[in-house]
Amino acid sequence: MNASRLTSWRILLTPYYLNLYARQAHVLRVAAAFWVGLALNLLFTIPHGSWMLVTILIVLGSVPHWGGVRRKALQRMGGSLLGAAAGLVAMALYRHSPLSCYAWMTALVMLSAWFALGKGEYLALLVGLTMVIVAGLGNEPVEAALWRGFNVLAGSLLGLAAAGLFPLRAIDSWRFLLADNLREAAALYSKIARRREVDAGVALERFNGRLIRMRALVAAAVQESGLPAARFDAIQRRQRSLCSLLDRMGEVAQATPALSDGAEQRRAIVRVLMRAAHGMRFNQPALLAEPLDAALSPLALDKPSYCHWLAAEFNLASEHLRADLAELLPLLMQVPPPSRGILLLVWHWLSSASQGRSR
């Protein structure tokens, strides 16, 4: 095997390519986890093994990012453990009195329904669901209940392992979308300021589309990074501010040359936004270190126009965004990635095999 052909394995370890082919990677890891679970069932004839496969699909099927998968798997395991314990209690009560068993199950179902409307909705729902699955009507054999609990735990662990093999992280997707928005804002501002022909509505629609997708990633990004949601929300607000300013600029730029008067200021803003985009995409905080000089106050002009105020406000919004990102990016870079040990072992093994054959 030629060593140069092994470079394709690096795609599986690179966040950019994993996000570029996110759907393919997601399908691949679901299939890999399913096949491992299927093989375990076929090799060892695990009783009630279908619950392992069901759990794999529940944990991995609709959640692409590591933060969401980890949260769902942990809630699945926690809910399954508590629910299985509650089911065993119900079965023990049934042997004493069926009425006490059903009273216990009713109380647990009510508690599950109550807390299912709160923050731990999935965990609470699984407690009640697993209890009913394990206990049935109270007369289920204990062995079957234990095997069901084991299969749910095994399926959750397989889902976590598969998510770690192909780690689609929400913080990486969030970074890449942000980088695209920064580049979009820089290009659109440059064209508007120079009064070039541009369809600002289409560009801003793309910008807002990314912003909506970023908003959906915040919860998983918080889970992965451990950072407060307020940090991500602040970046979202900064972007909305840029979008609003660009929209207003596009409406009035053709009526006045004020935006194109300050070529030096325009180039400085574009440079800062483009450097910030590159820094966020490739994890280079040094590109975010250079501050943007304050714009000339429109009050210093003899006849300041609306565009002068817009340009000064856009300069200030760009600088605030750069400063926030300069603080956030080093924190994101400190977040340890999910385990990639198996892929790294495969990569080293294939590299060693290739070097051995070349000798």
Contact yes or no for 354/3 (Cβ under 8 A) = yes
Domains and CATH numbers, the chain: 3-165 (no CATH), 170-333 (1.20.58)
Residues 276, 297: contact at Cβ < 8 Å? Answer: no
Q: Report CA-CA distances (Å) from 227 to 11, 73, 333.
A: 28, 20, 12
Phi, psi of 167 (to 5 degrees): -80, 90
| 241 backbone dihedrals φ, ψ, rounded to 5° | -65, -45
Flag whether the pTM goes above 0.75: no
Q: Which residue has the tokens 């040094």?
A: 286
What is the chain's pLDDT, residue by residue, as a tens digit (359 residues)? 444 444 455 556 677 777 778 788 788 888 989 999 999 999 998 988 888 898 888 878 777 777 777 777 778 778 878 888 888 888 889 888 889 989 999 999 999 888 888 777 778 888 888 888 777 777 777 777 778 778 888 888 888 888 777 778 889 899 999 999 999 999 999 888 887 777 888 999 999 999 999 999 998 899 888 899 999 999 999 999 999 999 888 887 666 665 656 678 888 999 999 999 999 999 999 999 999 887 766 655 566 666 777 888 888 999 999 999 999 999 999 887 765 444 444 455 456 555 555 55
